[in-house]
Amino acid sequence: AEHTPYLVLDYAPNGTLRDRYPLSARLPLPLIVTYIKQIAEALAFAHERLLVHRDIKPENLLLGRNGEALLSDFGIAIMADPSFTNPSQEIAGTLAYIAPEQLQGFPQPVSDQYSLGIVVYEWITGERLFTGQTFEELVYQQINVTPPSLRQKVAQLPPAVEQVVLKALAKDPQERYPTITDFARALELAVQNTSGLFSAPTILASFTQTSSDSLVEKQPIAMTLQKTKQDWLAAGNASCDEQAFADALCAYEQALVLDPNFVPALIGKAIALRNLNRHQEALSEYDRAIELDPSNAIAYNNKSLVLNELQRYSESLVFSQRALAIAANYPAAHFNMGYALGELKRYEEEIAAYQRAIALDPTFANAYNAKGVALNALKRHEEALSAFDKAIALAPNFAIAYGNKAYTLGLMQRYSEALMYYQRATELKPNYTNAYKGLINMLEALGRTKEAEEVRKKAF
């Protein structure tokens, strides 16, 4: 009927974040930051109007057309009472995510921060914050029990990230961040300062693995007469972290002796083989992992990477596309797709792929650098310079980005500036042959032939 009220809402065709990432899944930190910033923006809008959502959980976080996180289900939202004098007549929300003061009848905007902190805790550890089996147990835990340390579950998690999450999970609302935006910013800053230390889950953890096969983080392995497959997996991961890939390979193979179908160990073995330049064997291990777990996005993506290194770019595209069909918000898969497209001289598509990677992970310095290279191929040098500048701002010791910026400046006949960036590139990477060649070329272009000869003798 023409007078029937109706709502017009955004359509979220990709389901919920719980659908995309089951409880056992561990997400890469940059991806977590991307989601939290988007959710925090929506919550900040509500909080400015004194609305408390009261039911933040992955089931109420939707994925939009472009993989962006959307906040849904304000069905039990309530106006906050800043005076704390009028307790709510009902306790609403999902118990596993509910803040202590909300349980006591005083929901406040920072109650949503507590709930979102639990979501982050789950995404980092792959486990529930509290595991009480009854209503009474969960209520007691939410009000009284200190959250378990994240670093006890994920040994290489940077301490700064743990501190941010635990602050959001403070029992006293006054001890949390003043606003949801402050929480999101603190998390982003902590992740930006990790310098890639927390990288294993982006390589080894499966988006769809069960909790029994979840990635075992780097940690001391107990001296027992019989190690488990998880013990050997942990040993392999620890060796990979130390770039001791031969040792890692041995550990993963021991895990596979105990369970030939242990997908995380197959993926770990493939990573070790690739780093030992045994690419064909790595491909075989990825094929085995995919056969056992056809929904493992990481196996598809890592196979794409190996195919790129073998210069099999058309095949690489197929596997990066399969990875993205499973996990559309996977920055590394967009990056590998972009690289293959660039080698196939499909530069506009390459740039679009890097843009998608950057949108998902704004701290992805290598994506900015690769985007700059693609822009140079299209003779869009000013845009390329901007991309290299962004890469350098994100990673101040990124020698190749300095070299690429210097090369671009040389193309633009800005030789003195190019010289400066080539010099910086060689300082950061003393064995950077192309940077030395560029340095010599710039000195010669400036008529400083004697200096060019001195550099040539020193470098070559």
pLDDT tens digits for 110-122?
A: 999 999 999 999 9
- 308: CB partners within 8 A, 6+ apart: 316, 336, 339, 340, 343
- Quick check: do 15-76+87-195 and 389-459 share a fold? no
Distance separating alpha carbons of residues 446 and 287, to the nearest angstrom: 53
Q: pTM for this one? A: 0.54
Distance separating alpha carbons of residues 454 and 440, to the nearest angstrom: 9
Are 269 and 237 in contact by the 8 Å Cβ rule? The answer is no
Distance separating alpha carbons of residues 164 and 266, to the nearest angstrom: 34
- Cα-only R_g, the chain: 25
Are 30 and 69 in contact by the 8 Å Cβ rule? The answer is no
Instruction: Tell which residue, 207, 202, 209, has the closest CA to residue 230.
Output: 209
Per-residue 3-state assignment (H helix, E strand, C coil) for 379-418: CCHHHHHHHHHHHHHHCCCCHHHHHHHHHHHHHCCCHHHH
Are 162 and 190 in contact by the 8 Å Cβ rule? The answer is no
**Pairing between β-strand 51-52 and β-strand 69-71 as defined by DSSP bridges:** unpaired
Low-confidence residues of the chain, pLDDT below 70? Answer: 1, 75-93, 193-226
Please state which CATH number belongs to domain 389-459.
Answer: 1.25.40.10
DSSP 145: P
* Yes or no: domain 15-76+87-195 corresponds to CATH 2.120.10.30: no
Helix and strand numbers (H, E) in the chain are 23, 4
Are 123 and 198 in contact by the 8 Å Cβ rule? The answer is no
pLDDT at residue number 197: 41
pLDDT at residue number 133: 82
Backbone angles phi, psi at 40, to 5 degrees: -65, -35
pLDDT at residue number 22: 76
Sorted by where each begins, the domain ranges of the chain are: 15-76+87-195, 389-459
